[in-house]
A and B are shown apart, each in its own frame.
Chain A
Amino acid sequence: MTRQKIQQASQTTRTVENKARRSLLNGLWLTLSGLALAEIAWLVGSFLKPLKSNGSPDRPAKRIDAGPTDRFAPNTVTAFPQGRFYLACLKDGGFLALSRRCTHLGCTVPWDPEKEQFACPCHASVFDIRGNVIQSPAPRALDRFAVSIENNRVKVDISRPIRRSALGKAEVTYK
């Protein structure tokens, strides 16, 4: 046998016996680097995650005193900029607190007292005094906040907006 052939033979045997070990090592490396990547992704994700205090469902109730019930005439809407809501007093005297945030993409909807509707300036959604959609693209009625009446004063819990379905009938609070 020439030297070259011997060399070739030894090389082939080496690759053969190395194959299993190699694939094991390769697999190990792959797994380890995968783990390392996942770890880094997890770190970045946790770093950027919003802090807990906002938006968690177990927020304590935050109630706003909107004033005495007889301040509100039927069929009117009063804005509460601090609380970010509208207090609607319906024709029958029922109260409804509506979020001022359009359910389409979050613009602030102004109340138009002449047409008696909320008309969104962003993509032309229109809502009636109960917050129901008159004209799309808004996919559902305006969110509402829980209203309670204590000692003839209207109280609104602004901690949590309550979602309503597209054609949902609002729950109205009466005196």
Chain B
Amino acid sequence: MSAVIEEHHPDDHHHGPDKGIMRWVFTTNHKDIGTLYLWFSFAMFLFGGVMALCIRAELFQPGLQIVSPELFNQLTTMHGLVMVFGAVMPAFVGLANWLVPMMIGAPDMALPRMNNYSFWILPFAFSMLASTFLMEGGAPNFGWTFYAPLSTDFAPPSVTFFIFAVHMMGISSIMGSINVIVTILNLRAPGMTLMRMPLFVWTWLITAYLLIAVMPVLAGVVTMMLMDIHFGTAFFNAGGGGDPVLFQHVFWFFGHPEVYIMILPAFGVVSAIIPTFARKKLFGYDSMVYASASIAFLSFIVWAHHMFTVGIPLAGELYFMYATMLIAVPTGVKVFNWVATMWQGSMTFETPMLFAIAFVILFTIGGFSGLMLAITPVDFQYHDTYFVVAHFHYVLVPGSVFAIMAAVYYWIPKWTGNMYNEPLGKTHFWLSFIGVNITFFPQHFVGLAGMPRRIPDYALQFADWNMVSSCGAFLFGFSQLLFLFIVIQTVRGGKPATEKVWEGAHGLEWTIPSPAPYHTFSTPPKEIPEAHG
């Protein structure tokens, strides 16, 4: 491991970034690429958000007002795909790019050229995906879970472009995760043992393995679709000896780990922020590591909890119910550890801490509904209703998305050298917090009362809560423009940040100047701190 570092040539001339647009096109610098990922992700967040607002506008009242049912299905599908693959995943890759090398005392990512490729694939993949809106027959309209045969025999012609786009995203993710793994395993500064790594690094290491394991499965399933559509196979067509349910098994074998791919790095972020603002070391670091690893392992053996109604035999239903319930145990350990970290700390409530605390509470609420969904007989009533929509939005929006925002507020002083505007940041937090709850909490109600998901129009008894939910969505959506404003303001100026930025901050990234110089840790740090969060 240290061999890599000794190869460092002292006569390498350290230079700043290139000038102009080419800096971004050809860059192999982890900080530049991290920035690209984050901006790309934010753009996709707005794009997916606009689609979400169209959906919520249509659902504001019963009856069809704004979009046709065809377009509605395209919007729900594209909203899901863009948010999952375009907003949340790239945001975490962006954070990994910025932070992993600085946290482990490495000069850059291990495979910088590949890093550049894995980013630049994404704009092409998503331009292609977005362009399907303009194609004959419209964009993919079969839901982000694209169940066959709706997505094969019955799909619009644009499905082929969708498949190609998914392949590109998969390649990008796999390259990105190889890079993360190689960096973490090979480029740690001498003395940075595995059990000294910040939890963000740990959770990303685990996430990267998950990605490598399941993105090929996703690629496999879309390739089988491609064959069914264009080459006369019948993987998912019972008429030809295939099985539509096979699609769901393969998809969810990817899909369930995918949800942990979107939440594990968030755990890492929160585990960094809470100790800083509680001024107290993370409680149970070791158990946090083991809990993350167990969650990752369990995520491979629970996939059919998305398919309780497809007609699985009793033994299968029972197994998947028990295995799914088991996930609550390591997840609970994490929540208890965060609470124990706060306990008897000396807390202050800057914006990152507010987002992190909201994460713990609201993610836990999403965990509760997840536990309810795990109970098979009751899942028959919840499945494919708004209760599920409420559940996964609770774990994804005030879960993953809040963690990403917390991370931006927490590290942006390090990235830009400027402090963000604290009152504005808090305003953004409260607007988001209120908006998110008004949007998604009532969805539990309509789901329990019997409203199916993915419908453009609904029966009258669901009207009130849908209206409330739509109002919340607009509040949440427009609040994000404030976030954009704050970020731009901080990039352009502000109170200069100190090296350490936060009184309670620990870790290597806080030992370098703010803003972080273009190249950091060209010589490995001498002192490796113990893990603090």
| Real binding pair | no
Q: Please give the residue numbers on chain B whose beta carbons come within 8 Å of chain A beta carbons, in ascending order.
A: none
Q: Please give the residue numbers on chain A whose beta carbons come within 8 Å of chain B beta carbons, in ascending order.
A: none
